[in-house]
Amino acid sequence: MVRSIHVLPHTHWDREWYDPFPTFRGRLVQMLDELLPRLVGDPSFGHFQLDGQMAVVDDYLAVRPEQRESLKNLSAAGRLSMGPWYVLPDEFLVSGETLIRNLQLGIARAEEFGGAMQVGYLPDMFGHIAAMPQILKLFGFDHAVVWRGVPLSLDQPAFFWESPDGSRVRAEYLSAGYGNGSDMPADASQLRERIEMFLEVQGGLVGDPCLWMAGMDHEAPPAHLSRVVAEFQAQETLRASTHPEAQGYELQIGSLTEYLESVPSTNLQTHRGELRSGARANLLMGVASNRVDVKIAAARAERTLERLAEPLCTLWSAEPIRDQPLLDLAWLEVIRNAAHDSICACSHDEVVDAVLHRYAEATETAQGVARSAIEHASTQIQQAGILLLNPSARERTELIEVDLTASALAEGFEALGQSWVQVLSERPAQEELHLTTAADGPMVVARELIFEHPETVQVLLIDTEDSAKAAGDARRVLEVHMFSNAENVQSHLEALSPLEALSQLGQRCEQDPSLLIRTVLHHAEASSRALIISGRVPGFGWRIWEPHPPSSLVQSTGPYGLTNGLISVEVNSEDGTFSVNGHAGYGHIIDDVDVGDTYNWCPTEPELAVGKPQATRAQVIEQGPLRGRLRIDSEYLLPSCAPTEPAPEPESLLQAVTTVIELRADEGILRVTTSLNNQVRDHRMRVHFPLQERASNSRAECAFGLVQRPLAAEGGPNEWGVPTFPSRRFVQAGDLTVTHEGLCEYELVDLDGDPQDPLTTAGALALTLLRCTGWLSRGPMASRPLPAGPENQLLGAQMQKPLTLNYAIALNHPDPYELADRVWSPLQIGTSAGQGSLANEGSKLDISGMEVDAVLTDSTGRLVVRCHEPWGQAARMRVLGRSGQIVDLLGNTLGPFAEELEVRPHQILTLSLDPI
């Protein structure tokens, strides 16, 4: 009997991890400089796989551009496989749209070299999302390759993996990881022994043929690989001739695609949904909660791109395709950060600094594109006034903050009384900015005219005296009056241009060094910064604002309470928690010592936890009528760090934590901001919320859908099954919905139950605010006996810096997607000049029936809409008045679209719409 062994030479390449990117790129160049001549010169070295990601090709060619043709020729000859990913991503901590753009970029780059590997290669992701099979099918893939996350219930070499919509791929299971054939022995007999040992240990988890992954992290297969394979085959041929009845093996070097073409696809088990088991391979469940600054930055960057810049640019820019290069640059930074060691922040401090920088650049770039679109929108409306733009598909009415002129306030008061507005601050018609000396005056005025108030068109210079001085010590003052509207300048005075004014000012200051310079900014009239109700703004639409009264005003209910008739909140001034609608215990902060690392949380034995502050002070800091806010200042006596033996117990210190609860008119939502300057090391801080309806499961947003999870998680001998789970923007349990900005980790708990008893239902939800550790990896520790990476100490992962953490809660909220958009993607505000042709209200794109994930412009200038059905129900999707094509994720036409379409439960749909 002969068993086939398919040898796949490959590498697994982390762009950045325990060393920063430049270091790893140097190793990449060295490796490929040695490898490529071997491939060219040794035909028996039949194939090499470049880890399924195109970033390694770009990184190499940035240093060796002359090797482009060599790579292209090897790829065309089938000797080198590339893509389909741009980087191998984490699947849970990035958005579904980031996953799609990642694959689209990787495939597009691979096409320049002859095409991408047609396999959904997922060798080292920390678990897998439920929607991945559907995503892969929409890219035309029939196969996936996975390692981590596969549960014990799957006990075959492969299985059918289904998304909730029914899309199915064949998943090859790398039961021993992607390096079972690494460190290839130089002796054929030793290689045979190793193969036989592997087959014996893995048993039924390895099929025939057997996939022998000849590669590992940051290395190429050894130079003797092709020789050893040839010697092995010669020995097997000889053995077969002398012992035909004995077990024999046939080794051949080939590609992953060739291997998958030869494997059986019948009688396989089926698994539907996500893969998050730690039974056979570490899932590394704590990466969702380390380095909360990275997760917050990721949430902001993706949100700014997907839910602000792209839809606004597509719908409002004069030429959206001209702004696309800027959006592409922003997406490239976000995609690079999607690599699992980057977004998961289980990396060196220098790497995390680079990740944060890339997210900041992506966010700034996207915000610039959005600002440009808003400015162009402001030129397209007939009526002048405050312009409200809705970047989401739902009609919106919400609280907005604007500048209102005194006349607008007076008109509103006359029509609606006092309750339609909440004035935050007032600005007079003449606003004194600075009083400075002649030595600094020219520089100060230049800064104000050029950078702070470039709208200034005319300037008056007026001589006066400093009235604040005693009569005998009066100093001459030159007043610089700045006007943005020439009509406001007094006609009898000589007005200057800003450049003329700066020239004269410089001369005057040089002539009289004792001169004082006072700058005064003139406005058309006095104004106020105020909160107002927007009125209804159509989905993906606009509206010129008019005064609207709220339906439910915010008012205080005592020294520590607020209500708006929809929801009520009151702070317990003794422990810093708050009650909602009379139910106590919300906002309960519990801090426990963590002796884990960036990969896994690990408690002390016995657990050290603090759940009650030493002191608390509460106060109402804003009373309405449109917005009220409560402030809670608490101090917790916490261990300064984890205990270390044989050292004595660590000293304790007071950690201040400030929580501000915000309640708005017409909203049944509590918005919460927790801020602290973290002084403590080695700890996890979580905030807890009671469930008025006990829960046996949770439901969390994941890429392109909702995932329902039980109270337990499957672990194994090398990793605890800790039921802390990730969510994208929100999680629900019982009657509670929590939406958050980058606070990805949650757990259902029971604070009053016996911790030794398994949960059957949970009475509370814990949201991790931050988790701080000083180790990239460590071991042994109780929750994971073996290290998950280099045992490097870190400073940045201790998060000892100011932190602002945002979330919101609602009870019995019917639509968590609406809640998340309302809280994190507010209406955008511009100023219409009244020079356009559009009516005062309307919609650019009327979509209903599905959740919209993306509105963008493709490379041909067509409007593309991507959406999904999250509720598990058949639905009718409609785009009013529009037609086009249904396309896959590569833009290939699947069928026609004419205004509406029946969609299946959990379907991801992409439309390419005809122009109108």
896: number of Cβ within 10 Å: 10
pLDDT digits (tens, 9 = 90+) for 380-419: 999 999 999 999 999 999 999 999 999 989 888 888 888 8
Nearest C-alpha neighbor of 523 from the set 480, 569, 489, 573: 489
Q: What is the pLDDT of residues 829-844, one digit of tens each?
A: 999 999 999 999 999 9
In this predicted structure, the answer to whether residue 491 has a pLDDT above a threshold of 80 is: no
Average pLDDT over residues 326-347: 98
> What's the rounded Cα separation, in Å, for the pair 561 and 555?
9
Q: Is the pLDDT of residue 105 over 80?
A: yes
- Describe the strand order of the beta sheet including 568-571 as a list of residue ranges: 555-556, 561-563, 568-571, 578-580, 583-586
Q: Is the dihedral of CA 24, 29, 32, 34 positive or negative?
A: negative
What is residue 242's predicted lDDT score, i.e. its pLDDT? Answer: 84
Summarised one tens digit per residue, pLDDT across range 689-709 is 999 999 999 999 999 999 999
Per-residue pLDDT band at 468 (split at 50, 70, 90)? very low
Average model confidence (pLDDT) across the chain: 95
From residue 427, alpha-carbon distances to 158, 407, 418, 832 in Å are 69, 13, 19, 21
Residues 544 and 383: beta-carbon distance below 8 Å: yes
Q: Please check whether residue 706 is in contact with residue 725, taking contact to mean a CB–CB distance below 8 angstroms.
A: no
Residue 437: is its pLDDT beyond 90?
Answer: yes
Q: Which of 637-646, 761-770, 844-853 has the lowest mean pLDDT?
A: 637-646
E strands within 575-623? 578-580, 583-586, 588-593, 609-610, 615-623
* 165: confidence class by pLDDT, cuts 50, 70, 90: very high
Per-residue pLDDT band at 324 (split at 50, 70, 90): very high
For 55-73, the pLDDT digits (tens) are 999 999 999 999 999 999 9
pLDDT for residue 433 is more than 50: yes
Angle at 382 between CA 379 and CA 383, to 5 degrees: 100
Do strands 670-677 and 652-664 pair parallel, antiparallel, or not at all (unpaired)? Answer: antiparallel
149 contacts 128 by C-beta, under 8 angstroms: yes
Residue appearing with tokens 């299971």: 173
Q: What pTM was computed for the model?
A: 0.95
pLDDT tens per residue, range 791-801: 999 999 999 99
With pLDDT > 70 as the criterion, what percentage of the chain qualifies? 97
Q: What is the pLDDT of residue 755?
A: 60
Q: d(Cα 146, Cα 124) in Å, to the nearest integer?
A: 7
What are the DSSP calls for 531-578, one per residue?
EEE---B-TTEEEE------SS--EE-STTEEE-SS-EEEE-TTTS-E
Does the pLDDT value for residue 787 go beyond 80?
A: yes
**The pLDDT value given to residue 486:** 66
pLDDT of 241 strictly over 90 = no
pLDDT of 652 over the 80 cut: yes
Q: How confident is the model at residue 38 (pLDDT cuts 50, 70, 90)?
A: very high
Q: What is the pLDDT of residues 200-229, one digit of tens each?
A: 999 999 999 999 999 999 999 999 999 999
Lateral strand order in the sheet of 2-9: 210-214, 2-9, 248-253
| Torsion angles phi and psi, residue 354, rounded to 5 | -65, -40
Sketch out the chain's domains with CATH numbers.
Answer: 2-281 (3.20.110.10), 430-522 (no CATH), 846-916 (2.60.40)
- The whole-angstrom distance between residue 44's C-alpha and the CA centroid of its chain comes to 45
pLDDT-based confidence at 751, cuts 50/70/90?
A: confident
Q: Tell me what the mean pLDDT of segment 793-818 comes to.
A: 98
Half-sphere exposure of 622 (CA within 13 A, CB side): 18
Confidence label for 757 from pLDDT (cuts 50, 70 and 90)? low
309: amino acid identity, one letter = A
Q: Is the per-residue pLDDT at 470 higher than 50?
A: no
How does residue 247 score in pLDDT terms, banded at 50, 70 and 90? confident
Mean pLDDT, to the nearest integer, of 815-832?
98
> 3-class DSSP state for residue 868?
strand
Tell me, what's the pLDDT at 752?
76
Q: Report cis status (omega within 30 of 0) of the bond before 639.
A: no
User: By mean pLDDT, which of 165-169, 245-249, 761-765 is the weakest?
Assistant: 245-249
pLDDT (0 to 100) of residue 599: 98
Nearest to 741 by CA among 815, 681, 802, 819: 819
Mean pLDDT in residue range 264-276: 96
What is the per-residue pLDDT for 832?
Answer: 96
* Higher-scoring residue by pLDDT: 467, 695: 695
CB 884 within 8 A of CB 914: yes
Q: Which residue, among 398, 400, 542, has the nearest Cα to 845 in the 3D structure?
A: 542
* Helix (H) or strand (E) run with residue 713 in it: none
Among residues 803, 797, 568, which one has the least CA distance to residue 673? 803
pLDDT at 519 over 60: yes
